[in-house]
Copies of this chain bind each other. A is one copy, B any other.
Amino acid sequence: MKNVLVAGGAGFIGSHLCDALLARGDRVFCLDNLSRGTLSNLETAFTSPGFSFERIDVANAQTLEAFMKDAKIDYVFHLAANSDIQASARNPQIEFSATLTTTWSILSAMRNVGVKKLFFASTSAIYGEQGERESREEDAPAPISYYGAAKASSEATISAFCHMNEIDACVFRFANVIGPRLTHGVIFDFINKLTADPTTLKVLGDGSQTKPYIHVNDLIRAIIKLCDQSKGMSVYNVGVETSSSVSFIAEIVREEMGLSQARIEYGTEKIGWKGDVPRFRFDLTKIHATGWRAERTSDEAVRQTVREVLRCKR
């Protein structure tokens, strides 16, 4: 049994990770400032005796360091970040505070307390616009969003802290993750829009944006499989080989909500908003070589998620 800290553990992905770590027998200390995370995401986790939650902002290095020491933490899962790219496009300072400062704080506390194991949730957004080319782990980051910049910065910072303090870090660059407890993104938006107005679904952009969507259950399986394998810093692209278009997602949401009469209105722009990456493809060779592979295609993940989210709303 290990004492693991999940920073940002009340968020969408963090809460699923807490559930999985508890299932494998870890003692899980979940920290979250509840800026985006919610206690309702932790309903399952709270039923386990190995779980505890503290409302702590991990950007506060001193509080965090004291906590790590008291709890005798062996492993830190760092998922504390802003998750709303459109919000930070309007106010970049959000990324500096919520995404980058948390990373420095966590690494500084680990360095001072002597915690040697880290998992970090990074993003495909660090690659920026690569067009049809499949992004590979060894490509130089070229972020076009403040979110991507803060995550790329976090990775660079982890690189130095790993070297200087013999920390082992497993870094996952995610595609778009979907599933129950989703808090933002295209599926979330479409369901909310059609709930508010069941006659019309207005889509940002022309619907042609195509991205790979991975179901959170597939992602969590990958984290559990690989988080203890790193020596030094290991970076993996994590995603699915298939993609789903915005227009496909719009149709699935309409269908699953039983609103086949609703009109879908598309915009004319190729991208939904500035900083959005209209097309994106991952090279998954490295993670597939570990034996992990997503069980669902992107389209299957989309349909399953739409059903799961609708079930929770009922």
Contact = CB atoms under 8 A, between A and B. Distances in A.
Given A96-B104, A104-B96, A144 B128 contact: no
A132 interface: no
B163 A157 contact: no
* Copies of the protein in its oligomer: 2
Interface string A143-180: 11110111011101101110110000000000000000
A274 B161 CA distance: 12
Interface residues of A, number: 35
A113 interface: no
A44 interface: no
A159 B143 contact: yes
A56 B197 CA distance: 53
A108 interface: yes
Nearest to A104: B96
A93 interface: yes
A64 interface: no
A39 interface: no
Given A163-B275, A164-B274, A149 B143 contact: no
A70 interface: no
Contacts of A153: 100, 152-154, 156-157
Interface stretch (A19-27, A134-142, A184-192, A200-208): A134-142
A126 interface: yes
Nearest to A92: B108
Interface of A: 89, 92-93, 96, 100, 104, 107-108, 111, 126, 128, 138-146, 148-150, 152-154, 156-157, 159-161, 163-164, 274-275
Given A143-B160, A153-B156, 15 more contacts: A92-B161, A93-B108, A96-B104, A140-B141, A141-B156, A142-B159, A143-B156, A143-B163, A144-B159, A144-B163, A145-B164, A148-B160, A149-B159, A156-B156, A164-B275
